[in-house]
Copies of this chain bind each other. A is one copy, B any other.
Amino acid sequence: MAHKYEQVAASIRESIARSLAPHDALASERELMAIHGVSRMTVRKAISVLVDEGRVYNVHGSGTYVGSADIFSKTPKLTSFTEDMISRGSVPSSRVLEVARIAAPDAVATALNLTPSDAVTQIRRLRLADDTPIALEEVFLPTTVLETESLNLGASLYEQLRLAGHEVYRAEQEIKAITLTREDSLLLEVAVGSAALSVTRVSSSRRGHLIEFARTTYRADRYTFQLAVTRDDK
């Protein structure tokens, strides 16, 4: 809690939880200045954090108000499967299907800006939530990012990448519906020909270096994707 605006934001979060209902007005920015003994910019920075979190909204000329309940934090974050499952209240586990060092498949080479002769580390895993198969995950990492032999499947992949100086910061995802192949149906323990949600992800560092290509196939009956969007014409 080093910065003042974080303290102010925390204090506002508390008073919302303690005594305010959705659409109640917050104290005005000038009042908050006096209450916390800070400048207006610090108050506004604190409020902007809460706006980003979806906890409050501004109405020009009128005030700042508490947002509707449960609109919070639906903004999708870049998470590992493990983090995602925990946040959904399930216990994640995993079964490794395959680890290999291969030449980059075309789709991977294109996405990661490699040549097809470049080597990548391939990891295929069956992912489970509360001991039920829920997803098939296939990850490709350039060997220049992480060598196949130095991979430790017992530990968090993103943590290993971070320690190797390739902290994942941002990703682009494509979500689509597919029909499962027979073998994938068997692995996920659903009827052959079932629909599934396919998420393809290309991850990069803060500086924009391409780190990871991943494709995850989720059981349609056990996984949905939620997000909040705004109009924001500007």
Residues of A within 8 A of B (CB): 22-23, 41, 57, 59, 65, 67-68, 71, 74, 76-78, 167-179, 193-197, 204, 206-208, 218, 220, 223-232
- Nearest CB to that of A197 among chain B residues? B177
Contact for A230 among B170, B177, B195, CB less than 8 A: B170
Chain B nearest CB from A94 CB (Å) reads 21
Contact for A229 among B41, B76, B208, B231, CB less than 8 A: B76
Q: Are B230 and A174 in contact (CB under 8 A)?
A: no
**Contact partners of A207 in chain B: CB under 8 A:** 23, 57, 59, 65
Chain B nearest CB from A78 CB (Å) reads 4
24 pairs, A vs B, C-beta closer than 8 Å: A59-B206, A65-B208, A68-B204, A71-B172, A74-B172, A78-B232, A169-B231, A171-B228, A171-B229, A171-B230, A172-B228, A174-B226, A175-B224, A175-B225, A175-B227, A176-B220, A177-B195, A177-B220, A178-B195, A178-B220, A179-B195, A193-B193, A195-B195, A195-B196
Chain B nearest CB from A46 CB (Å) reads 13
Q: Are B230 and A173 in contact (CB under 8 A)?
A: no
Please classify the interface of chain A as helix (H, G, I), strand (E, B), loop, or mixed, using the class held by over half of its residues.
strand
Chain B nearest CB from A47 CB (Å) reads 15
**Contact partners of A170 in chain B: CB under 8 A:** 71, 228-231
Contact for A71 among B179, B196, B208, CB less than 8 A: B208
Q: Are B179 and A194 in contact (CB under 8 A)?
A: yes
Q: Are B196 and A77 in contact (CB under 8 A)?
A: no
Bound CA span A168–B196, Å? 31
Q: Are A208 and B169 in contact (CB under 8 A)?
A: no
Chain B nearest CB from A221 CB (Å) reads 9
Chain B nearest CB from A113 CB (Å) reads 10
- Nearest CB to that of A180 among chain B residues? B195
